[in-house]
Structure 1
Amino acid sequence: MGDRIEEWATEVAEAELHSTLPRRWAHTQGVADRAFDVGRFLGQDADLLVAAATLHDIGYAPRLAATGFHPLDGARLLRDEHRADQRLVRLVANHSFALLEAEERGLQEELATEFPLLDQPLLVDTLVYCAMTTTPDGDRTTAQDRVAEIVSRYGDGSVVGRFIRRAAPEIFASVERVEAALAAQPR
């Protein structure tokens, strides 16, 4: 894959998000930067992580919002319009415990059938880590503050508020596993 997939991912995400959703684009850039910084310990999958981080929120683009569930809408774009790598598409579809939100939306079976969870736990955890330690403006934060910000922005009773509260223990566990993996890396 290499630099080419990272460049392609940036072009696609920028085309979909930059002008229509500038704050989402700022978040996307921050998540991608975070992935670039921490992904080296994934070896040959580091470029896949950066591409997934760059594309993880592409489904928010207004022209793509078929279901209103951004992981599913984004994954379908990548699969159907771009014929993207299957692992990349599955990472985007399932980022940040999307199956839990899909359940809240009545889309769990659809998501799980079309885009099964990738069986690479550390890669999946690292994408969660990058997304959930980056603010909406692209700055670094803690996972606890990010979850609180999401609940505050969407509201406790919203679909996203309910989902993120359910997912929080899993998100925090993913972040802890990645932080442990990073700490174990030689300096």
Structure 2
Amino acid sequence: MSATIERAMETGREFTYPLGRRWLHVQAVAQAAHRLSIAIPEPARNDLVSAAWLHDIGYSPKIGHTGFHPLDGARYLQAHGWPNAVVNLVAHHSGARFEAKERNLSKELSVFLFEDTPALDALVTADLTTGPNGERLTYDERIAEILERYLPEDPVHRTWVKAAPILKEAVQRTEERLAKAQPR
């Protein structure tokens, strides 16, 4: 395990362990990211797994200042010298750009570079095929779970109504890459 991934695991634990089941989700997302990493180019694999450990740290009340966890997590990571690739993956994970628009935080999120890459697709896949308690779900099951959890007027619900079809494409691309990468 690389030093960056070890540091990410420790930081992820520090901020999400106190949040109960959020820590279960983060651990399972990191495991999924590790499994999916063979589907992306070698140089980005450590960034993917590190970002998976860190993707939800913005939920911590210690650093969650805006109430928008991708932005809060990315700001913390940037301020603490994390690699830009990891910071940007956290900032833009799982359709953050759609929720930023719903929350009028697009300008703040735009400080972080959005790159539509295989690593971002894999992080989306890991996150959106893992339930809140760390259970494996299909993408459609995960979206249904999110829509059930949030009322229709909530920005999260409105986000997923718009973002679900677009992010499903990211999951499909990752599944295709994974199929090509696995030994036959």
Corresponding residue pairs, total:
182
Q: CA offsets per residue over residues 80-102 of structure 1, 9 Å max, x none?
A: 1x210011101100001101100
Instruction: Check whether the contact 2:129–2:142 (CA below 8 A) recurs between aligned residues.
Output: yes
Tell me what 1:132 maps to: 128
- Among candidates 107, 112, 115, match of residue 115 of structure 1: 112
Tell me what 1:168 maps to: 164
Secondary structure of the residue that 1:90 maps to in structure 2? helix
For residue 110 of structure 1, report the CA deviation from its aligned partner: 1.3
Amino acid at match of 2:114: L
Tell me what 2:46 maps to: 47
For residue 45 of structure 1, report the CA deviation from its aligned partner: 1.4
For residue 64 of structure 1, report the CA deviation from its aligned partner: 1.2
Cα distance in 1, alignment partners of residues 124 and 30 from structure 2: 12
Tell me what 2:36 maps to: 38
For residue 157 of structure 1, report the CA deviation from its aligned partner: 1.8
Tell me what 2:64 maps to: 65
Instruction: Check whether the contact 1:143–1:171 (CA below 8 A) recurs between aligned residues.
Output: no
In structure 2, the gaps of 5 or more residues are none
Higher RCO (CA-CA < 8 Å; seq separation 6+): 2
Tell me what 2:87 maps to: 89
In structure 1, the gaps of 5 or more residues are none
RMSD of the TM alignment (CA)? Answer: 1.1
Aligned ranges 1:168-187 → 2 under 5 Å: 168-187=164-183
Cα distance in 2, alignment partners of residues 32 and 50 from structure 1: 6
Cα distance in 2, alignment partners of residues 77 and 108 from structure 1: 18
Secondary structure of the residue that 1:29 maps to in structure 2? helix
Instruction: Check whether the contact 2:38–2:181 (CA below 8 A) recurs between aligned residues.
Output: no
Aligned ranges 1:133-152 → 2 under 5 Å: 133-152=129-148
Amino acid at match of 1:34: A
Secondary structure of the residue that 1:106 maps to in structure 2? coil
For residue 186 of structure 1, report the CA deviation from its aligned partner: 3.7
Instruction: Provide TM-score, normalisation by structure 1.
Output: 0.94
